[in-house]
Amino acid sequence: NQWLGLLGGGQLGRMFCMAAQSLGFRVLVLDPAANGPAGSVADDQVLADYMDDEGLAQLAARCVGVTTEFENVPALALDTLSKSIPVSPSAFSVGIAQNRIDEKAYIQKCGVPVAPHAAIRQTADISIALEPLLPGILKTARLGYDGKGQVRVKSLDEVQKAFVELGQVECVLEQRLPLLKEVSVIVARDSMGECATFPVAENHHRKGILATTVVPARIDESMGAQARANAIAIAGALDYVGVLCVEFFVVDGMGLVVNEIAPRPHNSGHYSIDACVTSQFEQQARILAKLPLGSTRQHSPAVMVNLLGDLWFTPEGEEREPNWPAVLALPEVKLHLYGKEQARVGRKMGHITIVAAELERALEVAQMVRDILGIGQDDD
Ligand code: ATP
Ligand code: MG
Ligand code: MG
C-alpha cells in the first residue's frame, strides 16, 4: 500500500483521508495536535510542527507525495518537502493564495476581474486617492478566514482607525460591491495540466461564515460557463496542481468578479461527496497519486447546510446534542460530523448534504433541517 502525506489535521484533511483510503491508500498526517479530525482517521500521524525538519523528513521518507489541507501551512514547509518528493499544490501557488494583494495581482494578470482595491502597508498609504474605494472593506492581506480580519469602512478616518484595529499589518482596502450572489467553482488540475471543474455552487452566509451551498447555482448558463472558464484560467496561470477553489461575486452591472482563491478543497465543495460521481477530496488523492481525474458529473441536485458549534448549546448556554434522529429520519439527508471533541460557537463541527431528485425538494428539506436543528435564516 502506498502512503500519501497530508499537512494539517482539520476536517478537510479528514475527508481527504477517507477518500484516499477508499482508493486503497494509507494516509500519514503531520499535525501539531494529536487526534484532530484528520489525525483520528489517518493510518498514522506525525505529531510535529509544520516546520519541524524531522517531521517533514518522515513524510518525505514514507510517502509517494504530500498535499495540504491547511490554508496557512508555511509555504517554506512545502518548498522543503518538494526537494525530495512530489508536493501539490506547490509552495508557489499556496504562497500566492496566502496574500490577498499577490492573489489579486495574479488573478488580474489572467484577465479575470477582481474588486477595485489598494494595498495599505503603512499609515502613509491612507490618502485621498483611496476615496473612490469607499465605502469599502479593509482586510488583512494574510490569515483572514470566516470574515475575520475585516472591517467595513465608510470614510478615510474609519480606514485609519480600522488599520490600527487590525494591528497595522499589511492590508488591502476593497471597494464594497453590490453583490447579487456569491458563487464558487472548484477545479481539479493534474500534473499534466488536465482540468476538471465541478458544477458552480451558490453560497449563502451567516455572520460571515458559509451557511448554505446550493448546487447547481441559480445563475444563467453562460455565466456558469464563464465562471468555470475563469477558474481553469487561474489554475493554468499558476500551473496549479491539485484542487483549487475560486470564489466569485456576481456584481450588479459588472458580472463575475473573483473574490479570493483557496489552494485546497473548500467548504462549498463538500456537496460533491454525496452529489457527484467523484468528490473534491477524491480528486485531490487521484492527483497526488498521479491517477486520472474522475468525473465531476453531478448526479443529484444538492443543498449543503453547515453545522456550527452553536447547535450544541441551548439558548441558555447549556451543552446539548442536536436532534440527529429527527434529521436522519429525512430520506434526503446525509450527515457528516468531523469528530471534534469540543463544540464552540462559530466552529465548523460538520455538515449535512441534502440530495434530492429536484432542487426544489432539496431546498424544502434544507428548511426542514434548519427548523429541526434551530438554525436561523442566512444573512444573504
Ligand atoms: P472565507 O472563510 O471564505 O475564506 P474570508 O475571511 O477570506 O472568508 P472574504 O471571502 O474575503 O473573507 O469575505 C467574506 C465575505 O464578505 C464575502 O463572502 C462577502 O459576503 C463579503 N465581502 C467580502 N469582500 C467584499 C466586497 N469587496 N464587496 C462586498 N462584499 C464583500
Ligand atoms: Mg478566505
Ligand atoms: Mg471567502
Residues with CB under 5 A from ligand 3 (ion): 247
In 3D space, the residue among 269, 248, 203 whose CA is nearest the CA of residue 107 turns out to be 248
100 belongs to a structural domain: no
How many Å apart are CA 310 and CA 124, to the nearest integer?
Answer: 41
The reply to whether 260 and 358 lie within a common domain is yes
226 belongs to a structural domain: yes
Half-sphere CA count of 5, side-chain side, radius 13 A: 27
Average pLDDT, whole number, for the chain?
A: 96
User: Mind listing the pLDDT tens digit for each residue in 242-289?
Assistant: 999 999 999 999 999 999 999 999 999 999 999 999 999 999 999 999
Distance 85 CA to ligand 1 centre (A): 35
ipTM, two decimals, is 0.97
104 belongs to a structural domain: no
106 belongs to a structural domain: no
The reply to whether 56 and 183 lie within a common domain is no
The reply to whether 159 and 199 lie within a common domain is no
52 belongs to a structural domain: yes
Domain's final residue, options 136, 154, 175: 175
The reply to whether 203 and 325 lie within a common domain is yes
User: Mind listing the pLDDT tens digit for each residue in 94-152?
Assistant: 999 999 999 999 999 999 999 999 999 999 999 999 999 999 999 999 998 888 999 99
CATH number of the domain within which 269 lies: 3.30.470.20
The reply to whether 220 and 322 lie within a common domain is yes
Q: Which atom of ligand 1 is nearest to the CA of 146?
A: 2
Report which protein residue has its CA nearest ligand 1's atom 26.
176
Instruction: Report helix angle 75-82 to 53-62, nearest 10.
Output: 50
The reply to whether 236 and 281 lie within a common domain is yes
Domain's final residue, options 175, 196, 219: 175
Mutate to test the pocket of ligand 1, among 259, 308, 348 (most ligand atoms within 8 A of CB): 259
The reply to whether 183 and 307 lie within a common domain is yes
Mean predicted confidence (pLDDT) in 366-380? 96
Q: What is the model's pLDDT at position 72?
A: 87
Mutate to test the pocket of ligand 1, among 249, 267, 378 (most ligand atoms within 8 A of CB): 249
Q: Which three cell numbers stand for residue 123?
A: 499609515
Does 179 contact ligand 1 (Cβ within 6 A)? yes
CATH number of the domain within which 131 lies: 3.30.1490.20
Q: What is the model's pLDDT at position 109?
A: 93
How many Å apart are CA 32 and CA 45, to the nearest integer?
Answer: 10
227 belongs to a structural domain: yes
How many Å apart are CA 313 and CA 93, to the nearest integer?
Answer: 39
Asked whether the predicted pLDDT for residue 297 surpasses 90, the reply is yes
Helices of type H across 187-331: 221-237, 272-275, 280-288, 324-328
The reply to whether 170 and 281 lie within a common domain is no
- The domain of 77 spans 3-87
| Range name among 142-156, 231-245, 299-313 with the lowest pLDDT average | 142-156
110 belongs to a structural domain: no
Q: What is the model's pLDDT at position 146?
A: 84
The reply to whether 197 and 310 lie within a common domain is yes
The reply to whether 11 and 145 lie within a common domain is no
pLDDT band at 240 (very low <50, low <70, confident <90, very high): very high
Does 133 contact ligand 1 (Cβ within 6 A)? no
Asked whether the predicted pLDDT for residue 1 surpasses 90, the reply is no
44 belongs to a structural domain: yes
Q: Which atom of ligand 1 is nearest to the CA of 175?
A: 27
Mean predicted confidence (pLDDT) in 347-352? 98
Does 15 contact ligand 1 (Cβ within 6 A)? no
Does 254 contact ligand 1 (Cβ within 6 A)? no
CATH number of the domain within which 48 lies: 3.40.50.20
How far, in Å, are 4, 137, 289, 333, 375 from residue 116 at the CA level? Answer: 40, 11, 39, 40, 34
- For the chain, how many structural domains are there in total? 3
Domain's final residue, options 46, 67, 87: 87
Residues with CB under 5 A from ligand 2 (ion): 260
Q: What is the model's pLDDT at position 228?
A: 98
The reply to whether 150 and 79 lie within a common domain is no
Q: What is the model's pLDDT at position 2?
A: 96
The reply to whether 199 and 121 lie within a common domain is no
Distance 219 CA to ligand 1 centre (A): 19
